[in-house]
Structure 1
Amino acid sequence: MPHTFHSPLRRHPVRHLLALGATAALLAHAPAHADTGKLLLTGGVSTIDGAAGGGLSPWAVIGSQATEGQTGFSAHLSHARTQDYRLNAFGAAVGINDRVELSVARQDLDTGITGTLLGLPGLKLKQDIVGAKFRVAGDAILDSDTLMPQIAVGVMAKRLGSTGLDSTLSALGAKRSGTDLYVNATKLFLAQGLLVNGTLRATKANQGGLLGHGATLGGADNGYELMPELSVAWLLRKNLAVGFEYRAMPDKLNKAGAAAGLGDGLRAGDWKDIFIAWAPSKNVSLTLAYVDLGTVVPATTKGKKQTGTYLSAQFAF
């Protein structure tokens, strides 16, 4: 019998966020809560996968305002809009002792014209993600005057909900669940107001997992691939940062799609963004970005690059 991944967000996502919100309220009044917390924006924001970092790629930082010896909480809501797709994401994370981060997230993709042309109008792909991150070396703040970066390792278990697309993914040899493993290094040059992050992710995920994991049709390579990711952020002032991100994506469905007679109709492109992040207070940050997700199922979108806007709000304690 195949293994079944049970996400805590799968049945009652709103109930879980309300429960985590109540926990955050308690933490805000607990003795362990930081009076000042971390420097603004140095803990990153929330990625669409739920981990702390940029919007697209996780960083080695531990989310929330909590520092060593404390426990903190963060929650986020995000929306991305391109020419043919709409993505909503929400989630929450707990940071423990500035050493461990546990996160949950739900993604909801409106497939737009793609679903219609597949005979599935109104098709939405829902993905649940449970993640864990561990800081293994360095301290971004304390080591800001040295060359030592903060280093973390992480894991993300992903599961795509069942839809009318199941039979298509199965025919391509793609699975609805998979696990990403990653290691990242974040270097903060505090005096210069510059943050640089590099991530190396082992993954089989197609379009971040929203089109399943791996592919076998036509002899497609179904193994893990190492995908690089890069983020650079410049602090214009203590509560305002600008930057860019790059996240390489595997192209596993392309060969399987060709074997199914789709040519390069399932070709995937790398993800990129240019962002501005503003923290009006130590507990709230807002991120606005221009995103370029490359091609997403070009067979149904006339090969257009999927560019558009991304907006995210994070609340951290």
Structure 2
Amino acid sequence: MFRKPVGVVAGILPWNFPFFLIARKMAPALVTGNTIVIKPSEETPNNCFEFTKLAAEVGLPDGVFNVISGRGDIGAELSGSAKVDMISFTGSVKTGENIMAAAAPNITKLNLELGGKAPAIVLDDADIDMAVKAIRDSRVINSGQVCNCAERVYVQRGVAEEFISKITDAMNETRFGNPLVDKNIDMGPLINSQAVMKVQEAVSTAIAQGAKLECGGTRAETPQGHYFLPTVLSGCDMSMDIMKVETFGPVLPIQIVDSLDEAIEHANNCDVGLTSSIFTKDLSKAMHAVKMLEFGETYINREHFEAMQGYHAGMRKSGLGGADGKHGLYEFLSTQVVYMQC
């Protein structure tokens, strides 16, 4: 079999991992013989410009690595160009839909990495301290602005009180601040004031729908920066928006369940399928969850951030519709990746 390069790859980036994702899209393109055009987010373009200096220093031929900056209209032009042979996009579901529409007339190959609502399941036999640390770390990494990290928890009734108490303490103890000034922090700011308002609205709506505020729940009082207090919401259920809509902030809603199968049923009741996790000492329960959870990645007794040597992708949730009646999409994947920590 003889393999040929695709041609020109367009890499369209989000703001939450702007430097890391340049390399993540550039490296596969170049090592397989393609050229690439990177379009950074208008919120975080500067490190992409700095990256171009590094690319120039290593002696890449002209035209192999290219950067074009601007707002959404630039991304739309790039997506609709007949000169682009493949598009790799990371970002929101809505923008992914727009890119698909722009690419459709040219039948351009697509690789889409879109929104997530990752569930974490905590069973009665779990190491609760391990689960608390892993889920708390997963929820506050990058201030909760990560599509694959824990967005909701289903905890079995027998350990619910202990788990809620300990996760509340852990979130309360989270240190936040400016990472450029203080290296001993757990969490930095949100991307902008609009993000703070969006998270505040999600929390306020959850409380209005019946959730109980255990800690946090509001903007942090700081002289500078867009900080939101690490937040825990208990008493949640699947009728609440907070259990179905991606929050993208340091907010952890918790629902109590009576069995693993109930937890799996609720976990699968969403229209995006990137990551999931389960905390249990019973390998048979863990493997049952792996088989039944409709997510591209499942983490066993560890936090959600994928291993660098692993394959990062999601699962198309073709059988479920979102609030607008459309399917939420993640990367197309025919297998499931499992990460286990003993």
TM-score class, shorter-chain normalisation, is under 0.3
Larger radius of gyration: 2
TM-score, normalization by structure 1: 0.27
TM-score, normalization by structure 2: 0.26
Structure 1 or 2: larger strand share?
Answer: 1
Structure 1 or 2: larger helix share?
Answer: 2
